[in-house]
Amino acid sequence: MNPSVKIIINDQPLELPAIVGSEGEVGIDISSLRDQSGSITLDPGYGNTGACTSAITFIDGEKGILRYRGYDIAELAQKSTFIETAYLVIYGELPTPNQLSEFSDLLTENQMLHEGMRFHFEGFPPTAHPMAILSAMINATSAYHPNLINKREQRFSYHAARLISQVRTIAAFSYRKAHGLPAIYPKTTLKYTANFLHMMFSHPGEDCELKPELVKALDLIFLLHADHEQNCSTATVRMVASSRANLFASASAGVCALWGPLHGGANQAVLEMLEEIHQDGDDGTKFLNEVKNKSGHRRLMGFGHRVYKNFDPRAIIIKNQCDKVLEQLHKTDPLLDIAKKLEEIAIHDDYFISRKLYPNVDFYSGIIMRAIGIPLDMFTVMFAIGRMPGWIANYKEVMEDSNSRIARPRQIYTGPNIRSYTPLDARP
Ligand SMILES: CC(C)(COP(=O)(O)OP(=O)(O)OC[C@H]1O[C@@H](n2cnc3c(N)ncnc32)[C@H](O)[C@@H]1OP(=O)(O)O)[C@@H](O)C(=O)NCCC(=O)NCCS
């Protein structure tokens, strides 16, 4: 028997159906609530609102569980690669060797930007933030593919591969442009992450050294970001997709949503915070006191999560990787010492414990990226590259759902009641 929930609104008893997810999560289906009662629900920030059913990613924030298509993130981090995981996230199953090689070939075939797109880069000022360029250029890609509305599976696979492959090329070109460096084209012989580092750091006539441990570390960062259920940017992608906008337009909106410091911009904000603490000669204690007494409206960036209330499983993987990378490079980083000190104090401090604030994935990822040589303003771009498979998978889910409707929330109006227009010369 399907479960249901009985509620009383204005003395009227109502019975609402409930949906149980494959991990036992219960959602009360309120789609008939307004018709039945005249009322709507109000949930600013959507902390208690499910906007869809989805078979892509499962998170249990209390237990610190994250699974893509049923596979635990720690197992994927240890055994898979970003591209294999991207296939899994988009198509639902781990690829066979043939499928993986076809997918990789499709990525390689699509890695070059349309030559016309190169001229768009020239229009941006040298001070442009790479996230602004990324969002604009992903959207501009739609202009080169007027038949995007065609939803045949073959075309979808093609556009999905194009997006995953080209986001990396666009990202590298925007870095080169911002630093006044000539664009470096991708190589067909290099794998995804190595190719990205090549486009970032090689010079015409001189290829950069691709240290395997750094390629692996960045590949892991991409993999750990591949999807994260209905966060702000993914929900944005789904919302835009619900209007039947094309894949590139939807992903471009995702980039904009990701940019903010409370979301993907947090990795940049963490490093800026650590640098500030370092420059102040503080060991973190003074800064944490400011955070706790809320005097400067500061937050401990890289801490806290809307869903994880115990620990973020990605943070543990990334912290271990961070130690490994610095050890392999024989590097020390004073910012890593400050980060560890902040974490040590915060996880034992009642302010953070009582609010269930723990390190999230962004707390340590920036230190790895810094060790790789990725500049600060490219950190969120790295997140966007990693998140692309998740956005594509969510876009696909919206498009394939025959019951999908345009996303259109309601509101409770709190403005003035009806009043008459006062002519300009009669206003005080
Ligand atoms: C992620 C985040 C946006 C989640 O926000 P949320 O679920 O809406 O939580 P709230 O903003 O309601 O915060 C709840 C309480 O914890 C406090 N809090 C939340 N995150 C905090 C942080 N990083 N540092 C200090 N205090 C924090 C809030 O001030 C609030 O305290 P109060 O109850 O005394 O008012 C929030 O934790 C944050 O801003 N973290 C820092 C940015 C970050 O790392 N983002 C990356 C997420 S992957």
Same domain, 355 and 278: yes
The whole-number pLDDT of residue 1 equals 65
Domain presence at residue 246: yes
Domain presence at residue 322: yes
Question: Final residue of a domain: which of 60, 85, 100?
Answer: 60
The whole-number pLDDT of residue 211 equals 92
Same domain, 365 and 386: no
353 in ligand 1 pocket by Cβ < 6 Å? no
308 in ligand 1 pocket by Cβ < 6 Å? no
Domain presence at residue 164: yes
Q: How far is ligand 1, taken at its centre, from the CA of residue 350, in Å? A: 15
Q: How far is ligand 1, taken at its centre, from the CA of residue 237, in Å? A: 23
Domain presence at residue 364: yes
Same domain, 10 and 125: no
Same domain, 325 and 365: yes
Identify the CATH number of the domain in which residue 37 sits.
2.20.28
Question: Final residue of a domain: which of 60, 86, 104?
Answer: 60
CA dist 178 and 355 (Å) reads 40
Determine the 3-state secondary structure of 60 from DSSP: strand
Q: Which two tokens stand for residue 138?
A: 């992903």
The whole-number pLDDT of residue 49 equals 95
CA dist 123 and 230 (Å) reads 34
Number of domains making up the chain: 3
Burial classification of residue 10, based on how many CB atoms lie within 10 Å of its CB (0-12 exposed, 13-18 middle, 19 or more buried): exposed
Same domain, 92 and 228: yes
Atom of ligand 1 nearest to the CA of 303: 23
CA dist 418 and 414 (Å) reads 12
Domain presence at residue 402: no
Domain presence at residue 418: no
Q: Which two tokens stand for residue 68?
A: 């893509």
The whole-number pLDDT of residue 150 equals 56
Same domain, 207 and 286: no
Q: How far is ligand 1, taken at its centre, from the CA of residue 195, in Å? A: 36
Same domain, 50 and 121: no
Same domain, 90 and 160: yes
Same domain, 326 and 347: yes
305 in ligand 1 pocket by Cβ < 6 Å? yes
Identify the CATH number of the domain in which residue 184 sits.
1.10.580.10
The whole-number pLDDT of residue 151 equals 57
Domain presence at residue 177: yes
Identify the CATH number of the domain in which residue 329 sits.
1.10.230.10
224 in ligand 1 pocket by Cβ < 6 Å? no
Same domain, 205 and 120: yes
Nearest CA to ligand 1 atom 41: 301
Q: How far is ligand 1, taken at its centre, from the CA of residue 194, in Å? A: 35
299 in ligand 1 pocket by Cβ < 6 Å? yes
Same domain, 360 and 228: no
CA dist 104 and 110 (Å) reads 10
CA dist 270 and 300 (Å) reads 8
Domain presence at residue 415: no
Annotated active-site residue 297? The verdict is: no
Q: Whole domain around residue 99: which residue ranges?
A: 72-258+377-393
Same domain, 198 and 91: yes
The whole-number pLDDT of residue 415 equals 98
Q: Using N-to-C axis directions, what is the helix angle for 130-143 and 153-178, rounded to 10°?
A: 140
The whole-number pLDDT of residue 331 equals 79
pTM of the complete model? 0.91
Low-confidence ranges of the chain (pLDDT < 70): 1, 148-154
